[in-house]
Amino acid sequence: MSEYLLCLILFSIGLYCVVRKRNLIKIIIGIGIMEYAANLFFVLAGYRKTGRSPIFSADQQVLNMVDPLPQAVVLTAIVIGLALTLLLVAVSIKIYEKYGTFDITKINKLKG
Amino acid sequence: MQLVPYLIIVPLVAAFLIPIAGKRMKDIPPVLAACASFTLAILSCLIAAAVITCKVAVYKVGNWPPPAGISMVADSLSCLVLVTVNTVAFLVAVYSIDYMKKYTDTWKFYALFSLMLAGINGVLVAGDIFNLYVFLEIAAIAGYFLVAFGVEAESLEAAFKYAVMGAVASVFIFLGIGFLYSYTSTLNMADMAAFMTMNNSPELVVFVSVLFLMGFGLKAALVPFHSWLPYAHSQAPAPVSAMLSGVSIKVLGIYALARIFFNVFGFSHAISSILITLAVLSMLVGGLLAFGQTDIKRLFAYSSISQIGYIALGLGVGTPLAIFGALFHLVNHSIFKSLLFLNSGSIEEISGTRDLGRISGIISKEPVTGYTNLIAAFSICGMPPLGGFWSKLIIILACIQANRPVLAFIAAIVSILTLAYYFRALTPALFGKEKGEGGSGQKAGWAMAIPMVVLAVLAIAGALLIVPSSANGAHILLKDAASVLTNGKNYAMMIMGAM
Amino acid sequence: MSPIQEKGMSLIVKTVTKLTVGFILLYGVYVALTGHLSPGGGFAGGVIVALAFIHVMLAFGKEVALRRLRSQTLRVSIGVSALIFLYIVMAGFSGRSIFNCEITIPICEMAIVGFGLFAIFTALVLLSKTDKDAE
């Protein structure tokens, strides 16, 4: 149970970071933390105590493995997260060139 | 059904060939993108024609039987949205041949456009929930890039806000998928639905519903989650706004929401009341905020929020007639809203500004843009012979039929509100005296004019969708699509049967 | 020294980079080519190759790194590697068993390295402080 609780705490830290921080880079880090919390949760959902790694070989039976599906899913999710982080960093570099600041409260050319 | 995977392969091939053609051969990227979207439109029509007779087409990837393997499912609902999406996308691609000439590095635009199209088609044919998430992310990330395409201060800011909010929404959706997987131990939606009918749904499902409602609600810009939409849609180049507003928010938001809540979870009273609350909020807030807008694209963006409210209202009421109306409005709205955004692009080119106070006399300057804009505005306001009137009427009638007169009243009021703000904003812009100054005064080329005219014709022909006759394939498709949602739980049996 | 070489970091960093970058590249290629036999797959190989170029860029500045690897090459390699990916996917669609085939495994590996190159490309675009049309 405690590991799920840790997941929740990690997720909350990320959400806090996204909502409260004013620096663009810190917001991006916050999004990263949230993603990792979700990924961690997904991997834990497939975990089994005393399970072994899900590699098939001729001398072993398909018994008592941890669930391999969440691992494949999380690998994909990590790549998606990478693309998203790259996008956000690229946009924030361009924003820095245009506005000369990383402070989100000073980036307010859009009105309304 | 062997054709289904090509819906994803064709745009991906185009997206990856475009960087190879690159900058040197300037003419190839637009032609490739337009060809790919044309092929997609034809393909989706073929699939839809097949689905009208056989009801559902399932493609098993690598011939692995689901739920172990990945499946692609095209049922009536997917086909209805597929045909709409790909037709609109083709017309937008043709439009952008001319429009995008003023930007540099346009090959990036066409590559991302094709990628976005691949993502959207992928969401529509995904048979398992994780693939739905992956394709949703592909479409969304391509969308963030496209919003920032102008690389001006405002568009970058809009893209950053959109991307941060979209990312948070995606994390919520992913977390929801995690909970759902740990409960049902499957990712296949049909399998999940079968599992849920056999077991009583615990509190967990309520929690997951909330997560999904937050995630997909943000993608659909329902009201508490709408704040990104006016920025993103007004700062993107016109074809991108048309794609985002006409296609993206419906597929990524409404379609995914409907598919999961109706077909996987099963429609419940709680979801219905939440959806209705959000819908009414969206309709009112979007409509009222549209009044104060001076920027033509922001006006259209707020009106999108308001119209999405109608669709969500129809889904929330949940009677067969209401769902029929909601889907009908979805099709209509994606036609006329993309037309309005394409118009806004050429209006901006003619008068050099998006400020409604300074746009005037569009009809005399440029009749094609002016009259098509008039038709689209009439349709969205609900003028009688046009498609928008019938879909709104059906939603209002369905509310009365479901014994919810208050909702019907609100829907009617918002319809009048829509008429009022379009009338206030567009009358001077379209008919006002020409002020001469400003802008290039440049006429739209054929590549910009033809898509607008075709979309205007479609906006008029949209009314034909409600004509019940056995020869009217579109009507049958619409009815089948509505029945897919109405008989939500049959989805599992239908898919399993098709395997 | 030419003006280009004066950019970047100190002499120590440049010398160490010159010595190590070849090994990093070699290791990246090794990981990519043996990816199908090792846990984690060949994906990390592409990233290590990308890191070698980022290493050069950090030490010598953007111009030197870009001279080594033209943007045209990068664009074509993105396109080609993504198309190879797509070919593999389509081979899977058509129901052939691709994972037993002797030829496709090296193709997979190449595609994965190409994907790593894609990562470099984006990294270069990110770190470029000049305008977008510098290419």
Q: What angle do CA C88, B130, B263 make, to 5 degrees?
A: 125
DSSP A109: -
- The closest CB to that of C93, out of B19, B61, B104, belongs to B61
- Check: CB of residue B373 under 8 Å from CB of residue B347: yes
Question: Using one digit for the tens of pLDDT, what is the confidence trace for A34-92?
Answer: 999 999 999 888 888 777 777 777 776 777 788 888 888 898 898 888 888 888 988 88
Lookup: tokens for A44: 């834990």
Lookup: tokens for B176: 């929801």
Q: What is the pLDDT of residue B268?
A: 84
CB contact (8 A) between residue C122 and residue A97: no
Beta bridge partners of B60: B71
Closest-CA residue of C relative to A72 is: C40
* B253: nearest Cα among B205, B213, B303, B289: B213
How close does chain B come to A59, measured CA to CA in Å? Answer: 24
- The closest CB to that of B12, out of C80, C86, C133, belongs to C86
Q: Does B125 touch chain C (CB under 8 A)?
A: no
* Res C89 pLDDT > 90: no
How close does chain A come to B484, measured CA to CA in Å? Answer: 29
Number of domains in chain C: 1
Sign of CA dihedral B350, B351, B352, B353: negative
How close does chain B come to A75, measured CA to CA in Å? Answer: 12
Q: Which domain holds residue C53?
A: 3-134
For C116-134, give the DSSP string: HHHHHHHHHHHH--S-GGG
CB contact (8 A) between residue C76 and residue B61: no
* Res C101 pLDDT > 60: no
How large is the ipTM?
A: 0.94
Q: Does A25 touch chain B (CB under 8 A)?
A: no
* Res C7 pLDDT > 70: no
Q: What is the pTM of this model?
A: 0.90
For B78-95, give the DSSP string: HHHHHHHHHHHHHHHHHH
- Check: CB of residue C74 under 8 Å from CB of residue B18: no
Question: Which of A40, A78, A79, A87 is the best residue to mutate to test the B interface, defined by the most B CB atoms within 10 Å of its own CB?
Answer: A87
- The closest CB to that of B16, out of C79, C93, C132, belongs to C79
- Helix, strand, or coil here: B403? coil
Q: What is the pLDDT of residue C3?
A: 47
Chain C residues close to A89, C-beta within 8 Å: 126
How close does chain B come to C90, measured CA to CA in Å? Answer: 8
Domain A2-48+66-103 in this protein, CATH class = mainly alpha
CB contact (8 A) between residue B104 and residue C132: yes
B472 in a domain, yes or no? no
For B260-308, give the DSSP string: IIIIII---HHHHHHHHHHHHHHHHHHHHHHHT--BHHHHHHHHHHHHH
| Rounded-to-integer distance, Cα B419 and Cα B65, Å | 52
* Res C17 pLDDT > 90: no
CB contact (8 A) between residue A38 and residue B175: yes
Q: What is the pLDDT of residue B41?
A: 93
- Helix, strand, or coil here: B218? helix
Q: Which domain holds residue B391?
A: 270-466
Interface of B with C in 270-309 (CB under 8 A): none
B216 in a domain, yes or no? no
Backbone angles phi, psi at B22, to 5 degrees: 60, -145
Which amino acid belongs to residue B212? Answer: F
Strand residue runs (E) in B15-120: 56-60, 71-75
Q: What is the pLDDT of residue A13?
A: 94
- Check: CB of residue B337 under 8 Å from CB of residue B246: yes
B443 in a domain, yes or no? yes
Closest-CA residue of C relative to B21 is: C76
CB contact (8 A) between residue B5 and residue C72: no
* Res C134 pLDDT > 50: no
CB contact (8 A) between residue B160 and residue A31: no
- Which segments of chain B have a pLDDT < 70? 1, 23, 62, 434-444, 499
Lookup: tokens for B204: 């967990």
CB contact (8 A) between residue A90 and residue C129: no
Number of domains in chain B: 1
B487 in a domain, yes or no? no
Would you tell me how many other CB atoms lie within 10 Å of the CB of residue B441?
14
B32 in a domain, yes or no? no
* Res C54 pLDDT > 70: yes
B230 in a domain, yes or no? no
| Rounded-to-integer distance, Cα A73 and Cα B334, Å | 33
| Rounded-to-integer distance, Cα B37 and Cα B18, Å | 14
CB contact (8 A) between residue A90 and residue C122: yes
